[in-house]
Amino acid sequence: MLVKRFSGRAPLQLLMAWMRLPRSTFYYKAHPGVRGKRPSTHTLHQGILVSNDAVVEQIRTLVSGPYNAYGYQSVNDELRDLGYLINKKKTYRLMDESRLLLGKVIRCSGKRNWVQYRKIQASKPMEYLCLDIKYVWVHGEGRWYYLLSIMDVFSRKILHWIFQKSVRQMDVVNMFRWLHLVYDLKGVIIRNDNGSQFLANQVRSFLSQLEARQEFTHVATPEENAYIEAFHSILQRELIDRYEFSSFYDAKQHFEKYMHWYNYERKHRKLGRITPHQKWQQGVSCSTDKQRGQVDAEGVSRPNDSIKNQIKNHSLVTSLDTPGADTYFCLSAEQEIREILHNQNEESVQTIGG
């Protein structure tokens, strides 16, 4: 690894700047074992926690009739009527583990394109999109609703959102159909998790017809979809936690106002204290002449001007408070690293697993 090779000749901060890599890449260590939160072992029933084994026995009773062919959604409704606080996903998991699904198991055909790079390097609008679903509790109706948001990674702008009782595969298809008519999805990379709505063959086939590239995050790895997850965290903090929605329409009006405020008025620190819409306009105006690199007579890819200025600025070792750093070693290490990067002719980004 180049960082270890030159670690004795320049500070880590400079090496990371020359390599155009975040320091978290160097310090990253693979997580041992299975990722994600462990599934719950108990379920709330009329204010009392009961084991999942008792829930499974209740499910067996519900589906034990001679003509009963309940699916997991109908079983979930029955359990809620009996006083169990349980959602469809948990009911599906319990029935799947106990082989009570009557052969109706959610599966997808075809090979999935998995995320290759955890951090997205978007250089223009409509290059990368990411989407996810968030559960929203409506107090006045005492039930959950689904919020599906899709974001342009370059500008952090929310291009479209859906708020309704459920989000099915046709809702996702219709959303992409609208986006294609407005923005053209040909060549766009779309990142999502492994929700059944996104795994549906109809959704994948439709995106393939549009010549859009769909990629899936690895299981129990939400950090691979960090941009939309961060937006939902902001939404939770600034809107959902501060208001109690009296009805579906009350919640939808709040979301309409908030989405407009987020896109056109809220300044984003990561964007340089400008709004997502301003960033979008900047990207659209300069997308025609913006290039990531220049090619010399030999065809060697070189960094663009912003990278050159960054490297040049970081070369001023005396401007950094790094006692003991040797200017000659730093500059010579920088030159060697730049030559190696040029010869490799590839863009350095954070890869999964460091």
pTM exceeds cut of 0.75: no
pLDDT in tens, 222-248: 999 999 999 999 999 999 999 999 999
Q: What is the pLDDT along the chain (354 residues), one digit of tens a residue?
A: 676 777 777 787 887 787 777 777 777 777 677 677 788 999 999 989 999 999 999 998 888 876 777 889 999 999 999 999 999 999 999 998 988 887 655 556 678 899 988 889 899 999 999 999 999 999 999 999 999 999 999 999 999 999 999 999 999 999 999 999 999 999 999 999 999 899 999 999 999 999 999 999 998 889 999 999 999 999 999 999 999 999 999 999 999 999 999 999 999 988 999 999 999 999 988 765 554 454 344 443 344 444 444 444 443 333 334 444 444 455 566 666 666 666 654 444 444 443
Rounded CA-CA distance 330/328 in Å is 5
Cβ–Cβ under 8 Å, residues 257 and 239: no
In the chain, where the domains are located: 42-97, 128-284, 291-346
Alpha-carbon distances of 190 from 120, 134, 135, rounded to whole Å: 11, 18, 21
Tell me yes or no: is domain 128-284 CATH 1.10.443.10: no
Rounded to 5°, angle at Cα 263 from 261 and 269? 100
Sheet with 84-85: list strands edge to edge. Answer: 48-51, 42-45, 84-85
| Tokens of residue 290, six digits | 């913006």
HEC-encoded secondary structure of the chain: CHHHHCCCCCCHHHHHHHHCCCHHHHHCCCCCCCCCCCCCCEEEECCEEEEHHHHHHHHHHHCCCCCCCCCHHHHHHHHHHCCEECCHHHHHHHHHHCCCCCCCCCCCCCCCCECCECCCCCCCCCCEEEEEEEEEEECCCCEEEEEEEEEECCCCEEEEEEEECCCCHHHHHHHHHHHHHHHCCCCCEEEECCCHHHHCHHHHHHHHHCCCEEEECCCCCHHHHHHHHHHHHHHHHHCHHHCCCCCHHHHHHHHHHHHHHHHHCCCEHHHCCECHHHHHHHHHHHCCCCCCEEECCCCCEEECHHHHHHHHHHCCHHHCCCCCCCHHHHHHHHHHHHHHHHHHCCCCCCECCC
Cβ–Cβ under 8 Å, residues 134 and 255: no
